[in-house]
Amino acid sequence: MQARFVLLPGDGIGPEVTAEARKVLTAVATLHRHEFSFEEKPMGGIAIDEFGDPLPASTVVACRAADAVILGAVGGPKWDDPTAKTRPEAGLLAIRQELGLFANLRPVKPNRHLIEASPLRPELVEGTDILFVRELTGGIYFGPSGVSDDGRSAFSTMVYSVGEVERIVRIAAEAARSRKGHLTSVDKANVLEVSRLWRRVAAKVMEEEYPDVHYEVVLVDAMAMHLIARPRDFDVVVTGNMFGDILTDEASMLPGSLGLLPSASLGDPGPGLYEPIHGSAPDIAGRGIANPLATILASAMALRHSLGLEAEALSVEAAVDSALNDGLRTVDIAAGAKGVSTVAMGDAVVARIN
């Protein structure tokens, strides 16, 4: 297979971890006789510095022509001026719109070799395997917003259409059907009118199109508690943009490190965008100690969802598991011991693929 990857290294540790993902993808291509090409493009703070735009037009053009896009991370103190007209994070919202990426898939599955790293008791975390499906291009982040002329009030509006709810619920239901057959929809229908629409539309889709999938509804505040008290009870969870943003960050702590969790943002048609859930970590940038595993696992998601290479994706995931089983740890998961470097962890995964 021939496939084109666009790499958006971004800021902070982004270039370091995307370099390791590229190394792993190259090893996969060599072993399985694929032809993968890679092109790096600027995005985030580095793009602001060079082009005055966190998402230059040339980057958008390259991404649209790609089969998959791998993103590192964006942002940092250098660009945190609240008076700035543009910030690195604006590039994230823009690329989602430009590529039509309406569905964010975030798996939360603590690694069996690192259960002790979780802040929760092992018996609560062990066996957790949740796939969050977050709507990504609607809701309060994209609704009408503004500030009054005198600056004394502001507003942000949560808006969803029937079509937006239908398509994200279908993505989640299909995923649930291929997993344990259990879908949980999260809303705030006891307070928000937009959530009442969400609940009506989701229930109709599930009743008419997915009667074989067990379906339940949970209010967002209750879900926040359930994730800590009984995370093993959930399979696929679907929710809107803001609720999904908050809940997935909460769930990311179940494995004990942000350095282990990947995500995929998908649309139809066009390439998917794959990234680690962690930030740019400017405090450790350039020190060679960042954990590349989340980005490497994101590349496995790219192989699976954008290229349809399931066996190759599984081989990457198995290589990561093997490296952890053999005791390799970067500093964030080393529990006080000396960890291996970013490059050494990437090399270990490559060795186990080969």
Q: Is 141 marked active-site?
A: yes
**Which 3 state secondary structure label does DSSP give 264?**
strand
Q: Which of 53, 129, 245, 321 is catalytic?
A: 245
- The answer to whether residue 235 is catalytic is no
* pLDDT tens digit sequence for 249-285: 899 889 877 788 999 999 988 899 999 999 999 999 9
The reported pTM is: 0.91
Lowest mean pLDDT of 80-84, 130-134, 272-276, 348-352, name the range. 80-84
Q: Which of 11, 41, 67, 188 is catalytic?
A: 188
Containing 202, the helix (H) or strand (E) segment is helix 193-209
Tell me whether residue 180 is one of the annotated catalytic residues. Answer: no
pLDDT of residue 259: 82
Sign of the Cα torsion 293, 6, 281, 238 reads negative
Rounded to whole angstroms, how far apart are CA atoms 19 and 313? Answer: 18
* Residue 84 φ then ψ, to 5°: -65, 145
Question: Which is the catalytic residue, given 212, 221, 233, 326?
Answer: 221
Identify the structural domains of the chain with CATH numbers, from first to last. Answer: 1-105+263-354 (3.40.718.10), 129-253 (3.40.718.10)
Q: pLDDT-derived band of residue 120, with 50, 70 and 90 as boundaries?
A: confident
How many angstroms separate the CA atoms of 186 and 216, rounded?
Answer: 9
Q: Give CA 214 to chain center in angstroms.
A: 25
> Catalytic residue among 53, 141, 204, 321, which?
141
At 210, is the secondary structure helix, strand, or coil? coil
Q: How far apart are CA 289 and CA 348, in angstroms?
A: 14
Out of 49, 212, 249, 326, the active site residue is 249
